[in-house]
Amino acid sequence: INSLFSQDYKGQKLAEQIFQGIILVSAVIGFIYGYITEQFGWTVYIVMAGFALSCLLTLPPWPMYRRNPLKWLPVQESGTEEKKPADRKLKRHPKS
């Protein structure tokens, strides 16, 4: 069930690329439109709309971000007991 609510590493990379691309495109469009209309407010509105769109597309764990799940190692039942301090051998380094 954990994989339903998380992104894998490749999905995180894709989400980051989409986020940066939308922000960059909206900033360029906003700057050009704001320059043409001589209204800085339009630049801000367009960049904010791009930010909202990128958040909508990248923050939820959409299925396109979960295509490469991690392969976990199986649980080992035995052999994981801790050794007693007396059972451990101390490593000594030769003096030089």
pLDDT score of 8: 84
Q: What are the residue ranges spanned by the domains of the chain?
A: 1-59
Pure H helices in the chain: 9-37, 40-58
Question: For the whole model, what pTM was predicted?
Answer: 0.67
Of residues 93 and 14, more confidently modeled: 14
Higher pLDDT, 84 or 66: 66
Does residue 45 carry a pLDDT above 90?
Answer: yes
In percent, how much of the chain has pLDDT > 90? 50
Cβ atoms of 35 and 48 closer than 8 Å: no
**Token pair recorded at residue 76:** 């080992």
